[in-house]
């Protein structure tokens, strides 16, 4: 294969994803609902982001692969394009036969008990269908799976030549841990400067963080509005907000614009006492990712059949911490704290189980939750070892708890009818709905 053909092969999936997102923009734009109009704006940003990465590949410009949890404020401040190879597994849910084939392919390589989304990412690496970046910033928490994904990358013939750095995460939440992680972030910056040729300017970092702080403020304001009964928006919007604040619009004024529209829309609905579900009867805390695949059937069914709204989910919820931008020291300490303590999924799953349980207590109280659902994704080994503790916490605070056991990305793992049946029996037994 020529270099050009190889490049095309590696971009193929990415281009497919871009085209799929573009089609979604068209669909959302034509929707009459304000919620879907919001999605249209955001999805357009994702399309632009994909185009940027494609351009970088074609023009040989630096770009990196990374995640939301690795202080992406730094990449934004360096104007360094980045992408994450986990998203095709998310968006792939739109084309289930393709995704299922990829899941099966990944199973042949890695067996079937490693988290599906990580397995698929590993599969893309081994099959050489992901654009090879200039450098990689890896993620070593919150779970074992993320660490081993980066081992796969490091040992793959083509990807092993790509320099890779991953910050080592401490287990605690104290000043010593922050200091330690600051050291790791500084090493990360040095690594990026060395391998991309881009430089981190402190004034630019300050600008990005100040915008990011505003984004967090707006996200929190939005989350306050979700406390209303009925809840103004349903599933999915929280994930979108997360995607803006911690994803591709980190420290980007367009993120502020989008969040302002989101807040305004939610405010209007709250003032009019209009909820996503006309007859809201059940307020759920879905304590995991709101995956795209289940967004086409399970979540709409919950709303329509049971008047059950996912008021809050794992990714929609984050504590609000302003970063002090007065000095380089305070900025790096703030970024370290944010990366360890504020980022969804990482903050709950990385340390002791108390992090999980504290979320349940807080969210149930603040959002007037009727029941807590632990979907029990097959990849969440640590979370699934919290089942007893979660159940007992829910019992203490007087809210029912449901553990399902499913795959957020492979709907064949637990059939949807079985899941619906579990929900129905649970709601009935608990006198909900």
Partner 1 sequence: METKVKTKAMQEFSEAAKTLVNPAVQDWRKQGGKVVGCFCSYVPEEIITAAGFLPFRMRATGSAGTELADAYLSSINCSFTRHCFNMGLRGEYGFVEGVIWPSTCDHVRRTYDNWKRKVETPFVHIMSLPKKTEEPQVGWYRDEMVNLKKALEKHFGVKITDERLWEAIRLHNETRRLQRQLYELRKKRNPPITGAEALAVMVAGTAMPKERYNQLLKELLDEISQLEGNADYRARLMIVGGILDDPAYIEVIESQGGLVVTDMTCFGTKIMWNDVAEGAGDPLTALARYYIADRPSCPRMFGDYSRRADFVREMVREFKVDGIIGERLIFCDLWTVEHYMLDKDLKAEGVPYLKLDREYLLGGIGQLRTRVQAFLETMRR
Q: Helix or strand or coil: residue 286? A: strand
86 DSSP 8-state letter: T
Q: Considering the rule CB under 8 A, would residue 384 count as an interface residue with partner 1?
A: yes
Site for partner 1 in 165-194 (CB under 8 A): 166, 168-172, 176-177, 180, 183-184, 187
7 vs 384 by CB, closer to partner 1: 384
Among 143, 256, 259, 346, binds partner 1 (CB under 8 A): 143
Of 74 and 149, CB closest to partner 1: 149
Which CB atom, from 229 or from 352, has the smaller least distance to partner 1? Answer: 352
**145 is an interface residue for partner 1 by CB under 8 A:** yes
For residue 416, count CB atoms less than 10 angstroms from its CB and return exposed for 0-12, middle for 13-18, buried for 19 or more: middle
Place of tokens 């009964």: 229
Element (H, E) at 422: helix 416-429
| CB-CB neighbours of 97 under 10 Å | 7
Q: Which of 138, 230, 344, 433 binds partner 1 (CB under 8 A)?
A: 138
60, 97, 111, 398: residue in contact with partner 1 (rule CB under 8 A): 111
Q: How far apart are CA 133 and CA 15, in angstroms?
A: 15
Q: Where in 337-376 is the site for partner 1 (CB under 8 A)? A: 352-354, 376
Say whether residue 148 binds partner 1 (CB under 8 A): yes
In angstroms, rounded to a whole number, what is the distance separating the alpha carbons of residues 344 and 242?
Answer: 8
Q: Which stretch binds partner 1 (CB under 8 A): 84-92, 145-153, 216-224, 291-299?
A: 145-153
Residue 388 near partner 1 by CB under 8 A: yes
Q: Does 262 bind partner 1 (CB under 8 A)?
A: no
User: Quick check: 385 binds partner 1 (CB under 8 A)?
Assistant: yes
By the rule CB under 8 A, 216 interacts with partner 1? no
Contacts 24+ apart (CB under 8 A), 109-114: 113/378, 114/145, 114/148, 114/379
Which residues lie closer than 8 Å to 171 by C-beta, 6 or more apart?
177, 350, 351, 352
Residue 69 makes contact with partner 1 by CB under 8 A: no
Query: Within a 10 A sphere around the Cβ of 249, how many other Cβ atoms?
Result: 25
Please select the residue that binds partner 1; options are 13, 49, 150, 333, rule is CB under 8 A.
150
Axis crossing angle, helix 3-29 with helix 34-59, rounded to the nearest 10: 170
Note the residues at the interface with partner 1 (CB under 8 A). Answer: 109-111, 113-115, 122, 138, 140-141, 143-145, 147-152, 154-155, 164, 166, 168-172, 176-177, 180, 183-184, 187, 352-354, 376, 378, 381-382, 384-389, 403, 405
């Amino acid at each position: 294969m020529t270099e050009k053909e190889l490049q095309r092969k590696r971009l193929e999936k990415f281009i497919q994803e871009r085209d799929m997102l573009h089609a979604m923009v068209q669909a959302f734009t034509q929707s009459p609902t304000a919620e879907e109009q919001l999605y249209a704006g955001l999805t357009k940003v994702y399309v632009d982001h994909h185009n940027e990465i494609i351009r970088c590949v074609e023009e040989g410009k630096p770009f990196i692969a990374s995640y939301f949890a690795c202080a992406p404020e730094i990449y934004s401040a360096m104007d360094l394009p980045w992408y994450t190879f986990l998203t095709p597994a998310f968006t792939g849910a739109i084309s289930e036969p393709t995704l299922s084939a990829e899941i099966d392919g990944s199973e042949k390589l890695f067996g079937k008990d490693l988290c599906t989304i990580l397995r698929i990412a590993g599969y893309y690496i081994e099959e050489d269908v992901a654009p090879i970046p200039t450098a990689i910033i890896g993620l070593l928490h919150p779970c074992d799976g993320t660490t081993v994904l980066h081992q796969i990358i490091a040992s793959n013939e083509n990807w092993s030549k790509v320099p890779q750095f991953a910050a080592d995460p401490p287990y605690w939440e104290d000043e010593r841990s922050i200091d330690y992680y600051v050291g790791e972030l500084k090493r990360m910056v040095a690594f990026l400067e060395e391998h991309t040729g881009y430089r981190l300017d402190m004034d630019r970092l300050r600008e990005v963080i100040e915008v990011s702080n505003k984004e967090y403020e707006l996200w929190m304001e939005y989350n306050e509005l979700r406390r209303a009964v009925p809840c103004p928006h349903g599933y999915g919007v929280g994930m979108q907000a997360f995607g803006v604040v911690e994803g591709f619009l980190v420290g980007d004024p367009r993120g502020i614009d989008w969040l302002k529209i989101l807040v305004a829309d939610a405010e209007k609905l709250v003032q009019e006492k209009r909820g996503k579900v006309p007859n809201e009867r059940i307020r759920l805390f879905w304590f995991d990712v709101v995956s795209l695949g289940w967004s086409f059937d399970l979540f709409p069914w919950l709303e329509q059949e049971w008047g059950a709204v996912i008021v809050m989910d794992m990714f929609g919820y984050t504590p609000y911490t302003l970063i002090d931008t007065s000095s380089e020291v305070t900025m790096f300490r703030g970024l370290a704290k944010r990366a360890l303590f504020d980022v969804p999924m990482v903050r709950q799953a990385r340390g002791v189980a108390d992090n999980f349980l504290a979320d349940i207590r807080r969210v149930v109280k603040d959002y007037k939750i009727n029941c807590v659902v632990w979907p029990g994704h097959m990849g969440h080994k640590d979370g699934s070892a919290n089942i007893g503790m979660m159940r007992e916490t829910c019992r203490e605070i007087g809210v029912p708890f449901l553990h399902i056991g499913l795959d957020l990305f492979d709907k064949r793992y637990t059939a949807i009818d079985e899941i619906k049946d579990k929900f129905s029996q649970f709601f009935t037994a608990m006198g909900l709905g």
